[in-house]
Structures are given as C-alpha cells and as structure tokens.
Structure 1
C-alpha cells in the first residue's frame, strides 16, 4: 500500500492464482471456437474488443505476450492440477516457433520481429459472435475460486480489472449476462466438448436455483436495487437498476396497439421522464409472445368516421413523436412479428435489435389503406425512398436479416439471446453521461429536420451547454487520472 499499489489476497496456493486461471479460460474458449470452425480469429477478437470492451482480443494478447510464454504457463498449470485441454491451435504455433510479435508472426503477421502493429480487426467482424459464449468459462473459473475460498468476490474482480485491464470483473460480467444464461452456455460447452472443466460450478447452479440471477433479479454475486414490476391492462412495466422495461402485453392479439395501450404508453413515458437519472437512464421496449406488435388494432376502426380515423392517426403519430423525443435512449427489442403500427413504433425508437425469427413490414396496403403512424415518413428516412416505397407498395414482410441489410434494424441475434443482448446494450448506454446522451439525441434527431447550418448551430449550442455540467468535469478528470468515470446526470 505504501508503494501506491492495491493488494489482492490469495488465500490458497493454486496454479495460476487468479488472473492466469481466468485468462486461460478465455484463451481456451477463443481457440476452441476457431479450431471447431465456429468463428475466425478476427471475429473472436472483434467480439472481445468491441462487445466485451476488453483492451485486446485473446489472439492479439497471446501474440503480444508471446505464444511460447502462453504455452509454458499453460503446461506448468496443467502439471500442477489445473483442469484443461490444451487447444491444438496454440500448441501448433509453439511447435512452428511462431510466437507472435517477438518472432514477427503468430496468429497475426507483424512488420518485423519485435515490432508490434495493431492488427486489422474490423468492429463489424464480431457482430454474429455471442460474447457471453467466450466469457462463460472465465465466469465458471471465477465462481470456483470464490466457492473454494481462494479469494473474495471483490479481490477476484479487482485482480482481473487491474491485472488484465478489463472494464469489469468476471463476477460483475456474470451478473450482467445473467447467472441462468451463464449456466446454459456452460452446459452447451460441456455437451460439445465432454470436458469436465466446463461443468457449471456448483455455486452457479445453486444461485440459478435460488433465482439469484444478477441484475435482472436484483441479486447475483452483487446486490442491486431490486427490480420493481407492475402489470397494467396492456403493458408490463419493470424497473431494473438504470433500465425501464416496457413490455407490450396483449399476446392473444399479437400485441396489437389498442386505444388503451396508447393511453398506457403515454402515462408510462410521462412517468419515466419525471424520474431521476439515478433511477432510469435507458428504456427498453419489447413484447410478449410471438409478436413485438402486429400493428394497430383495426377492430377499433370499424364504423369510425374519417375525422375519427384522422384523430386516431394523429394520436399515434404524437405518441411515437413522444417516444422519439424522450430524454433518454430507447432500445426496441423485436421479438417476433413487427408489422404496421408495430414497425412504426419500432422506428420511433433510437435502436432496433431483432430476434432472428422476427418479420417486419408495412402491410396496410393489403387492407386498402396506407401507414398512418409515421411509416411513410420514418421508413424512407431510415432505408431510402425507393426501398421504402417497395415495402409500402407491396405490403411484403421481410425477415430480420434482410431488415438488418437494409439498416432498418441495428442488429439481429438468436431469439433466445434477445433479452440478454438488450440488457447488455442498455447497461452499456447506462454507463454513459445521461445529459450528453440526451443532447446528442436531440442534436441528431432535430438537426436532421433542419438545414445543415441550423443543425450545426443546434450542435454548437448543445456542446456549449454540456460544459456547465458536473459530468464534463468528471469525464475529463477521470480521463486524466486514467480511471472509470462515474456520471451522475448533473
């Protein structure tokens, strides 16, 4: 402590202590995924860097450290009882004397022996990789260390954050991923490999059985403010730490947007905007059952006059404008059919993440009318005039992957990973300065509706206003002190 260093207490002598054991599990997972043809080296490193926020991907780090050193440490740990099955890809590099940066080539090639140059790893390369699949074995190892009393929860996470420069420790990450999701992923590893080291640790199984699943239940390895949930007539509203979930809940009607749902959405949005940023920083909206929303409830239109229909259209438009101008990010999780008014609702959100099974479309033309809640305006702004005309004129549905290609959705994930992806992205945004997020949202959304010079003036104004906030002081001072900022929204 007198040297200005932080201490980590290891209570028992185990091979690899803390950091090397946890890093070994990440390296093994990365290597086996590539060996089995499930991913490329670039895809794995991209996911670890850009999704998990690690300073280096597993393969870049092994090259930087020296693959011979990785082999030596792995062999020493194995001889001392560490349960592991060395990945042939790492062993092969050692045998070929391709040690990484020091030899000029390892998993990547470098300009000359000893000369490090950051390899080309595109952010988009890791889009299809489930980063929790790479991290679950490390969480399992951390759970073992905790259960065996080798180190405390705080010391395990501290060691990894300080020793590997991870933004969060493995037990913190486990709480974000969800303990149940970690157990399920480990069971997949165990089934695929047959290796004992992937058997979920008894501590993880016990926590899952007790419902201690992490942030989403209010308790995991850490304790959080417990989630509050209330059920309205057409919605479920759940408050988790930093996140408000709005869940459309008319599954028997494919979450069709009824007048009552419109009324309840207005009230919930008003309620959220009145809450401090300490309580809610990000909003997630998704649906129950087979649909996000199949559109407006057309039964409400039967027998209505044109003026009544006009007023109904304007109410929906104003609701979605309200969603679009909310002072915090709104993420839409498309869990199934997203059609008509459902797609119009989704397009008013800041981000759209879709399950692979989702289908999107504006089918109103097939019923004799046109989109009436913003579809003719938002859709061309998102995917271009001609593509929008094609979807609206034909009334065709498109699968989620096609919607992603058209930039109608930001990302597509397996259906069983949607909630996890939504929570992970929401938690990432919740760590950012909330006032700056609001200003950025306003500058982009409103600036695009004005001439560029007016948008520039709006940007400069928002930029200047932010320098009156405490968050700017926190951000700049944390950057200079090389520590993680704690933004308060003030």
Structure 2
C-alpha cells in the first residue's frame, strides 16, 4: 500500500499491521481540523486496501502524550457554526475508525485527554502505558465533549461513571481506567508496543472475515433487545458458513494442523 506524506500524521504498514501515529509532539499531539481530516483520509485508504492490512494501531508521537486533547488555540475564537463543523469532521473520522472491518488498537502512551480519550474510545481495544492519564476536561473549558465523549465513554464505563469523569474534569490513572473498563490492557512504557504486537499476532492467526464479522455483530447488536440481538448473531453465524475461511478453519482443526486463512 502506497502511503501519502501527511502533514500531521504518519501512516506505515508492516507485516499486515498499519500504524497511524498522531505526529504533532510539540503540541502534545493536539487534534486540530487538519489532523482530524487526515485521520479520516488515512482510514479511507486503509479500507480501500483491506487485503494488505489486518490490524490497525493508533498511537501518538513521543512519550508524553497519546493525544492531549483538541487544539484549544484553534477552537478559542470559534463561533457555534464553526464548532459544529469541527465536531462533524471529528465524528466523521472517528466513525471511520469504529466501522472499519479490521480490529483497531489504541496504544496509549501518555496523556489521553479530551479528543484523545474520544479517539481512543473509537478504537476496539485500548492498550495503555502504566503512566497514561485519561480524562474529559471539557467542562473546565466551558464546553461539553464534542467528539463522541458523552456517548462512547458512557458505553464503555456506564452512565454514572461517565457523568463523574466528565463532570469532575479530572484525570484518572491507567489503573483506574483499567478498573472501570476504559483500558483493556496495561503495560510498562517500554513494553507497550510489545503488548500491542502480542495482541495483534494473536488476532491475525484467525480468519479476518470472522474477526470482522464478530466485531460487526458486537457493535451493532450490543444495544438491541436480547432476542433480536440473538437473531442477528444467528444470521451472521450462518453467513460465515458460506466462506472458504470456515471450510479451511474446520478442516485444519480436524486434520490437527494450523489453518491458513485467505480472507474469502
């Protein structure tokens, strides 16, 4: 996959893993409009080249921050219409992450605040440094989270805890984030990417069709009534039996060998 030279992000692909790095370390990787647009463009490119990418990792440049928030210097003088447009751009890009067939992993290497927490929450899995700090500090700036924080955070940690985190506008530790379900795995800073690669390797052994379909079922059916969700799961389960990956996976099991999945 040919990756463009972006101004605010880096996109690399190696061993079927795409790594998108927010590359604005001088501003703690703050998300401005241009960066949000580039994130969306990068995920469009990844979707167009699904055969070359099985896992996507999102991280931030440097050791201090994953993303310390949205760019306040850009937002300070915005009016309501401009703020609404920025929110739409962010939602568009983050929805592309959330709806990607491949599994996405946020490798959180430092401050993960405001827009950064919202970006991480749009990924499927969050692997975090033991020194990471999470928070939604928007109310301390006189605004509310506008990049999905009131919604994705609530779905991850529950209404009461989301209201507490947002209303207090204070930072929480990696350990607390893990306890409440915001972080899925914790690693020491020097072991963060090893842990990410360990998870990626385990996922990539499996059928990419099945992984993508499982992600789709979880995301689409989680808020449905249980009987409807079960019906939906049954439909998706049945569809997997029309794939070559299903034939290969079950044949390999019965033949006591490792499966070789082609994603078809």
TM-score category (smaller protein): over 0.9
Instruction: Look up the match of 2:54.
Output: 281
Give the deviation of 1:386 after TM superposition.
Answer: 1.0
Deviation at 1:454, TM superposition (A): 2.6
The answer to whether the 8 A contact 1:364-1:395 is kept is yes
Structure (1 or 2) with the greater strand fraction: 2
- CA shift, 1:230, in A, is 5.8
| Shift of residue 437, structure 1, vs aligned partner | 0.7
Counterpart of 2:213 in structure 1 is 439
Alignment pair present for 1:394 and 2:168? yes
Structure 1 unaligned residues grouped into runs of 5+: 1-226
Which of 237, 241, 246 is residue 15 of structure 2 equivalent to?
241
In the comparison of the two structures, how many residue pairs are matched? 263
Q: Distance between the aligned counterparts of 2:91 and 2:188, measured in 1? A: 31
Q: Deviations over 1:79-104 (max 9, x none)?
A: xxxxxxxxxxxxxxxxxxxxxxxxxx
Q: Partner residue of 1:427? A: 201
1:353, 1:411 within 8 Å by CA — same for their partners in 2?
yes
Q: Is the 8 A contact 1:228 1:240 kept in 2?
A: no
Say whether residues 1:404 and 2:192 are aligned partners.
Answer: no
Structure 2 CA distance for aligned equivalents of residues 292 and 475 of structure 1: 37
Distance in 2 (CA, whole Å) between partners of 1:485 and 1:228 is: 29
Deviations 1:229-288 (A, max 9, x none): 7642111111011110001100000000111111111111011111143x1100001111
Ranges in structure 2 where 5+ consecutive residues have no aligned partner:
none
Number of the residue aligned with 1:361: 135
Measure the CA separation in 1 of the matches of 2:209 and 2:57. 18
Give the greater-gyration-radius structure (CA). Answer: 1
Deviation, 1:423, is 1.4
Is the contact between residue 228 and residue 238 of structure 1 (CA under 8 Å) also seen in structure 2? Answer: no
Distance 2:227 2:30 in 1: 41
Match of 1:479 in 2: 253
Number of the residue aligned with 2:119: 345
- The runs of 4+ residues in structure 1 deviating greater than 4 Å are 227-231
Match of 1:413 in 2: 187
C-alpha contact 2:40 2:92 (8 A) present in aligned 1: no
Higher relative contact order (CA 8 A, sep 6+): 2
The 5 A counterparts of 1:80-479 are: 231-277=5-51, 279-289=52-62, 290-479=64-253
Q: What TM-score does the superposition give when structure 2 sets the normalisation length?
A: 0.96
Q: Distance in 2 between matches of 1:249 and 1:484?
A: 39
